[in-house]
Amino acid sequence: MKPDTVGRPDGSDAARPPNQVTDHATGHATGLATGLCAVGLLLTAAGERPVGALRPGDRVITRDAGMVTLRALTRRRLHTPLVRIRAGSLGHRRPGRDALLPACQPILLRDWRAHALFGRAQILVAAARLVDGEFVTHEGTGALDLCQLDFGAPHILYLDGLEVASHAAGALVP
HEC secondary structure over the chain: CCCCCCECCCCCECCCCCCCEEECCCCCEEECCCCEECCCEEEECCEEEEHHHCCCCCEEEECCCEEEECCEEEEEEEEEEEEEECCCCCCCCCCCCCEEEECCCEEEECCHHHHHHHCCCCEEEEHHHHCCCCCEEEEEEEEEEEEEEECCCCCEEEECCEEEECCCCCCCEC
Residue 21 has pLDDT above 50, yes or no: no
Average pLDDT rounded to a whole number, residues 2-27:
45
pLDDT digit string (tens) for 128-170? 999 999 999 999 999 999 999 999 999 999 999 999 999 755 4
- Verdict on whether the full-model pTM lies above 0.75: yes
Q: What is the per-residue pLDDT for 32?
A: 53
